[in-house]
Amino acid sequence: MSNQVSYSPLQQVRAFTELASLIVRRGIVSFEGGFGVFLRGFGDLPRWGITTAREVEQGARCCPNRNALIDDDGVLSYQQLRDGSRTLAQWLLKYKKEAGLGELRIAIMARNGRHFVMPLAAKSYAGGAVFLLNIGSSAEQIQGCIEENGINIIFTDDEFADRMPESVRNGQVPLVWAHLGDITEAEREEVVAGAPHVDKLITLQHDLPKLPYRPKQGDIVLMSSGTTGVPKGILRDEPTIPYVLTGLLSAIPWYSNQTVLQSASMFHTWGWSTLNVALGSRSTLVTQRVFDPEKSMQQIQDYKIDGLISSPIFYKQMLDLPDNEKWDTSTLKWIASSGNALTTDLVGRMHERFGPILANIYGSTELSLATVATAEDIAKHPTAAGRVVPGSVVKLFDDAGGEVPQGQPGRIFLNNETALKGYSNPETPIVMIDGLIEMGDRGYFDEDGQLHVLGRNDDMIIIGGENVHPQSVTETLEPMPGIADVYAGGVDDEETFKRIAVWVVRSKDEHGQALTADAIRDWVRDKLAHHSIPRDVHFIDELPRNPTGKVMARFLPV
């Protein structure tokens, strides 16, 4: 069964017209650089499609001296980014020929910055498939990805050297160092003696093959978080006409030539997709290898940032900075959030500090963009995931497979043209109803057509016959004085099968020092039904979060 959504010719024309109109109005398609550059940009579509290489190439043509990327290693213009990516692609083609490979199958395990972007663009210039590995992967998981996907070269930051599996250490799978600096040269040599690194490869000038005119593009494979076992590889084609982009651009006023601070991880769908929008709009992208809230505020002020791309937990860290008003953030025009649920308390604090410019984007690794909530939507419905974007179909079904009416919670199903086409392991099941793919979340549509996400399907628990969504307990506790961070979840119970437990990080003030388990229970008792009161209250120093900010519940003490 095909899991790709299809559109009638009339629907395709309407969707394309809407998208084209929007990107023209935003200046994303323009005559910058001259009419010849404009025409060559369209001529590149049959050659590279809508790939990272095509966007880098067009940026170098129309505005070669504009800053493309400001990262922890300095500044790259569009021309420098293009030249480095092209040279790296030529080296990959040379390696492919010398190794006798049928297809390049490139893995990238790197933090945000040029050492992620260049290998990604090089893949598009050279052709082949690319696997974006989660930087939290273990050696066993990396080896599983290599074996399951036939990976034949891996780019990685040297800080992950200790996680390289034996197949990499013994040279069976060649390694290229991406970012260097976190370990010594001797320590690197202990992993793979003589392994090249990106900064040297992009300076090569001789004995390199020409780039193919029309490289054969393989899959873009994003890996799941992989809580257990081998992470699932989510297969995607390079996008042709990303109609769902209409929804993203309609939610935030992203124009060409803006300066955007992105802390969303580029190996996840949210960060990967916004990276390509940034390059396609000829924006200047500002990144950090490791998120630092104080540095982020300073960058907003220093670089006169127009837009922020991140997740709720990182916005909360920025708001929690002492004296956060001392930075001038008046240049901000929009803030986009995704990856975790917004809470009413966080939205209120964001509006107070930055103004009502926060938009919410809801999607998943498998299914990309589903709904968007504009700044106006969030002002009215702070926790809304938003309205269904053009090009997507979203429906809610009950456990028996029947569609639920408006206002009633159900399992969320979606399809659009950017949805996964399958998993790298074909035995991994895809749950579908009526051609729509399950997202793994539960939610409901309100009377205004806004989708509200209640949490993961397996997060909902039943206590005494009552459905309880732990997220509601988290949202209730978040504004409580003395709480710096909090997570609620279900744990096993001999009598009621499940019960609510909470894990709390105390704030470093008098409220945090005075915080007790009973005070937390009383706070919930005053605001929620009795079955939502947490019996277990665990005080911990820090919540275990992955690079996108999601709590890894399996690491919580019980």
The answer to whether residues 87 and 196 belong to one domain is yes
- How far apart, in whole angstroms, are the C-alpha atoms of residue 65 and residue 73? 18
The answer to whether residues 195 and 264 belong to one domain is no
The answer to whether residues 383 and 496 belong to one domain is no
* Among 366, 476, 384, 376, residue whose Cα is nearest residue 431: 366
Does residue 188 fall inside a structural domain?
A: yes
The answer to whether residues 403 and 308 belong to one domain is yes
**Ordered DSSP codes for 127-194:** -EEEEE--TT--HHHHHHHHHHHT--EEEE-GGGGGG--HHHHTTSS-EEE-S--SS-HHHHHHHSTT
What three-state secondary structure class fits 345?
Answer: helix
The answer to whether residues 101 and 211 belong to one domain is yes
Per-residue confidence in pLDDT tens, the chain, 558 aa: 344 445 555 655 666 677 777 777 777 765 566 656 666 666 677 778 788 999 999 999 989 999 999 999 999 999 999 999 999 999 999 999 999 999 999 999 999 999 999 999 999 999 999 999 989 888 988 998 999 899 999 999 999 999 999 999 999 999 999 999 888 999 999 999 999 999 999 999 889 999 999 999 998 888 876 555 677 888 877 766 666 778 888 899 999 999 999 999 999 888 998 999 999 999 999 999 999 999 999 999 999 999 999 999 899 999 999 999 999 999 999 999 998 889 899 999 999 999 999 999 998 877 778 899 999 999 999 989 999 887 788 999 998 999 999 999 999 998 877 777 778 887 888 888 988 889 889 999 999 999 999 888 777 777 766 778 888 899 899 999 999 999 999 888 777 678 899 999 999 999 999 999 999 999 999 998 888 899 999 999 999 988 778 888 888 988
Q: What is the CATH number of the domain that holds 119?
A: 3.40.50.980
Does residue 149 fall inside a structural domain?
A: yes
The answer to whether residues 304 and 338 belong to one domain is yes
- How far apart, in whole angstroms, are the C-alpha atoms of residue 417 and residue 420? 9
User: Which of 456, 481, 508 lies at the terminal end of a domain, its last residue?
Assistant: 456
User: Which of 391, 424, 456 lies at the terminal end of a domain, its last residue?
Assistant: 456
Q: What is the CATH number of the domain that holds 306?
A: 3.40.50.12780
The answer to whether residues 356 and 417 belong to one domain is yes
Does residue 187 fall inside a structural domain?
A: yes
Residue 478 belongs to what H/E stretch? none
Residue 491 belongs to what H/E stretch? strand 483-493
Q: What is the predicted pLDDT for the residue at 2?
A: 43
Does residue 197 fall inside a structural domain?
A: yes
The answer to whether residues 484 and 350 belong to one domain is no
192, 168 in Cβ contact below 8 A? yes
pTM reported for the whole predicted model: 0.86
How large is the C-alpha radius of gyration of the chain? 24
The answer to whether residues 474 and 408 belong to one domain is no
Which residues, at least 6 apart from 207, have a Cβ–Cβ distance to it below 8 Å?
Answer: 94
Does residue 34 fall inside a structural domain?
A: no
Residue written as token pair 């519940």: 553
Q: What is the predicted pLDDT for the residue at 421?
A: 76
The answer to whether residues 364 and 271 belong to one domain is yes
Half-sphere exposure of 241 (CA within 13 A, CB side): 16
Q: DSSP alpha helices (H): ranges in 214-311?
A: 245-251, 269-280, 293-302
The answer to whether residues 297 and 251 belong to one domain is yes
* Tokens of residue 25, six digits: 């109005």
Name the pairing type of β-strands 432-433 and 436-445.
Answer: antiparallel
Query: 493 lies in which domain range?
Result: 461-555
Does residue 56 fall inside a structural domain?
A: no
Exposure string for 319-354, b = 16+ CB within 10 A, e = fewer: beeeeeeebebeebebbbbbbbbbbebbbebbbeeb
Does residue 219 fall inside a structural domain?
A: yes
* Tokens of residue 44, six digits: 């590149």
Other beta carbons within 10 angstroms of residue 425's beta carbon come to 12
For 435, phi then psi, to 5°, come to 80, 0
171, 159 in Cβ contact below 8 A? no
Domain count, the chain: 3
Does residue 288 fall inside a structural domain?
A: yes
Residue written as token pair 């605001």: 527
The answer to whether residues 304 and 349 belong to one domain is yes
Q: What is the predicted pLDDT for the residue at 1?
A: 36
User: Which of 236, 258, 291 lies at the terminal end of a domain, its last residue?
Assistant: 236
**Ordered DSSP codes for 233-244:** EEEEPPPSS-TT
Q: What is the CATH number of the domain that holds 468?
A: 3.30.300.30
